[in-house]
Every structure is written in C-alpha cells, then in structure tokens.
Structure 1
C-alpha cells in the first residue's frame, strides 16, 4: 500500500542519517582529530635542575610575566619575577629580569618542558593546579606606618611602650620612638655603632639592653636603668645585625658576614649552638612564643629552632626591604626601607 511504502522510505532515510551522524561523531567526519599545540604557559614543577639553584616552580603567565619560586634545604623561600618573550617558531624563550636577560631554547609537550640555557638546563613537569606568588610567600598587610628617624640597615626592639631603634652610623645615640606619632621621644647614649639592639626578655627592673658594635664579632650588655656597661660576649661572627633575647641568660645573635646565627648563654659565657644558613645573610631577629623570626634577603621568616632550624612560614612586604623586627605584645613591627627611606611598619601579624 502507498502508506506502507512511504513508511519504509522514511525508515530507510532515517537509518541512513543515523549511520552518517554516528560516523561523524566517531571519526570527525572521516578526518583525524585535531591536536592542540602544547604551550609553555602554566605552572611547572622542577624535576631536574643544574642552572637555577633551589628553584622549585616556574609559573609562566599569558601576560608575558614569569615567576620563579625557590626553596632551600632549610625551608627559606624566595620569589624572582621577570618578563619574557616567546619565539614559538624558533622555540626560544627570552627571560628579562630587568638587570639582564637569559635566552633558552626549549622543547614542550602537554606534560613536560625543558629549558636549555648556554651553560645548563632545567626539566619541568606540568602542574594541574595553578600556583600564585601569594600562595608561595605570604604577603604582609600594614596596620600603621611612619618614617624612621634615620635610614640605616638596623634591627629594632620594644621596651614596653616605645620602639628602640639601632643607631648604626647615622646617629650618635640609640633612638626611642613613639609607636603612634613616630616622634623621636628620647635617646640612649652609646659609644657603639649599634646596628642591632635588644631588650632582655626578663620580667625585672634590672635588665640588660644588648648592643652590637659596627663590624665587631661581639655584642655588649648594658644595664638598662643606668646605661652601665656590664659585659661583652665571646667572639661570634662579625657584623652582628640581629639580637633576640629568649630569657634572662640566653640570646640569639646573627652574623651577616658569616651567614650564621648563634645561640649564646651569657650566664655561662658559652656558645650553645651555631646554625649555618648557607648563602643567606641574616639581619634582624626576634624571639617570640618559641619561634625565632629572622630578617633575611629583605623578607621575614618564622623559624622553629627547637631542633636545628626549620622555616615554618615566609613573609614578604612588597616594595619594602625588611632588616629589623620587634613585637609589641599584640603585633609585629619591622624596620624596612622603601625607595631608600627608612620606615617603621606595624604589621597585621601576631604570634
């Protein structure tokens, strides 16, 4: 019958269309599937490396910025930022750090990237999760900020109501600064170039103020009440830029020259411990709640020193170079330089 023939024709046409559509879905209409060209953008983890020492990750962004994340064997973290240009035809990457540039030939696949420099190479593997600079080193937030009375690479301390400012070469006396107005309210007479100052962590009226002296490998102890010189330490490393009192007999000292920190018992006159920081030159120190805070490379590090040294957290203050640190009982303060000017900065950071 006519209706049966029409139905058969429709059924045959439908079957033919289904077969053709299925073929198109399976093999892209008979053409091979399109392969995406691998790109260098993304987060890459270092697998083998004989060029950028201690580098752990490369983050290559689509806006032609690049971040290199570092971590040494003690846990100290750093970030290096750069711009780059990518010659995709020649497979060449030019990294510009501002002070100079590097050229690398590269090979890239969906999972691997190899950078070949003239005198070294780095092999990396693609990470599925993006890594941002703020997730590598924590960015500090500012509560309050004012001008320091002078600009010098100094450590600072807290005397219970004022910031105590090392004098270095820029002043004849140690400064006492109001933390609200940043006015220089007083001074402590000294014959030292005290790049590092510290108040003894001892709940007693008779306590010490500790002072370093120029490039000397010793620090000195003065009675805080009458400024009488009481004693000096054994020789440690020269250029002591940081002092951090633990209690009434022990103190940490940092040697910028020797890249080391020292735990010193001034009651028994004994060097209890020496920790080599590798090629990291330490500046100011502070000891709070069982942790040692170290200023180094313009950044701040919270360290566990209960058994050797392990960095617990790394902090940065963008556009500032931190050299001194103190705690006022609620928040940390740092001495830092910005545009070659000394700043006293109260941080949104507590113990």
Structure 2
C-alpha cells in the first residue's frame, strides 16, 4: 500500500515524503512543479508530473498504485496574492480539492489528510489561543478557499465510507534537521525565510507590514511551528485514520505567539548579521494575532512537538538558506553562460 502525497515537491510536502519514507512507507508524489522542485522529491518516491485537478492523471495514479491514503498539500498559500487573485485561489484550493476528493472516493480510498490553515479563524475577539470551536471568519480568499474545502470534506464524509483529518496550520517555518529539505520557493513571503535571506545578503531588506496592531510592539503576532513537528502531526493523523478514527479538524501550532519584531531579533541573534527593515501599512487580509490552542492534536493524535523553540526554527531555516546559496553557486558554475540558474 502507498501514500499519495499531492504537492510533494513543495516545502511541506517534500518534508512529508522524507518522513514517510523514513517510516518505511511507499510514497507516490503528484506535483505540477509550479512552485515545487523535482530535485526536492526524495528519489525513493514514485513521481507523477501533473495537476491535482486533472481527472486523467488522478485516474492513472489510482489505477497504477494501491493507494491507502491521500495527504493533500497542493495549493496556493499567499494571503496578499489571494486578495489580488481570488478566483485563482478558489480554483487551486477549492475546485481542484473537490476533484481530488471525488477521485479518492471513486477509487475506494477511505483516508484523507488535508492541509488547512489558521487563516480560517481571522482576527478573534480575544488574545487567548484559538480553539477549533472558535468563530470561523476568514479575512482573505485564501482562508475562505480552505474553509470551503473543509466543508466539502465534512459533507463527503457524511455521505460516503470516507474519513479525514483537516490540520489547521499556523505559521510553518524551519527545515529538515538532516538537511534534506527546506523552504526553497523563489520570492517566498514567509517572514523567517525572508529575514534569513536578508541576513545572508540575498535580499536588500525586510518589509514589516503594519506597526499599529493592538499588540505589545504594534506588529502582528503568529504561532510559528517547525515543519518537522507539522509533518509529525500528519503522520499521527494517518495513524489515527488507520485506527478507524472519525473525521477530525485540529489545530497545528504550539500555543505561543511571537511578534514580527521578535522574529527579526531572533534572526539577527542566530545569524550574527543585521539587515535593513522598512515599515509599511498593513496588508489586506492579515489578522492582528493568531495563536493555536493545540489541545485537540495532543489528545486525539498523541502529538508531542519536539522542536518547539523559535531559536531552533530560525537556526534550521538559516542553515538551509546557506545550503541554497551554495547549491545555487554550484549550479551557476555549471551553466553555460554563468547565470544563476533556477533549481527546477
């Protein structure tokens, strides 16, 4: 039996593939390589190039492989971009997820793990860690597109012999402790990656959007989770479903928040480098503060984080950025005209 990982050439998906292989699982990857990289896929995984919304590709994968479960990462995940291109987000995150759910059920596969987001919560009325039972009021098309997908999963599970776990991620960061995977997307907007790039001189500056939030230093507060702990939650979700677990929605975060300025200070400390910071108005769709209550994941999935330190997250991200710099330099040296080549 194999696990189908959509988006397995991307940031979180590539970590999941390595983790599954480490556990002795057989892994099938589907990725369009729109933002992912073929080199990021572990060589032991079976790779299919294609779109998660392509019925023919999905039918081929289910026909050629004995799939036990689907872990769905593929999609778009940039809040400001979703505000500018809402229909693209409803296509990539909602319509294509519907296609995948349908293909999964038609193939008789009963287990589905979904990559959701804390963006479904929006800004809450209290600074307390948010529970899964909180009001759902997403402030961006990205958050709404993911919430719609959660609703589809709920309805599909009620009508079919099918169960799922939807994991509402908070802010994922860091890299594989063994150095096999990390955040490699060109032009990424993730704060820790952007700050690490600036510390290494790969960016001129870091833009801080919003200094007038109702927080201690005026900047937004987020719950940062190490990608390895997030992947462990997915592995535990698979085990939960294999034990016959009922449909479940759960947060994935540590329950502790850090402001943008606190993150930037940590990057300076870890890297030993300073960098320019510019301040700009708030971005549409950004909440002031979102911090997880992780109780459900710990109780239902037996999830115990092992990397819950902002310094550790930043150190692993910084080390990965250094690796990417060396990799790009090596690849550029092999190109015919000496240009910095894309790692595609």
Q: Highest Rg: 1 or 2? A: 1
Hey, which of these two has a bigger chunk of strand by percent? 1
Q: TM-score range by the shorter chain?
A: under 0.3
TM-score by length of 1: 0.26
Q: More relative contact order in 1 or in 2 (CA 8 Å, sep 6+)?
A: 2
TM-score by length of 2: 0.27
Hey, which of these two has a bigger chunk of helix by percent? 2
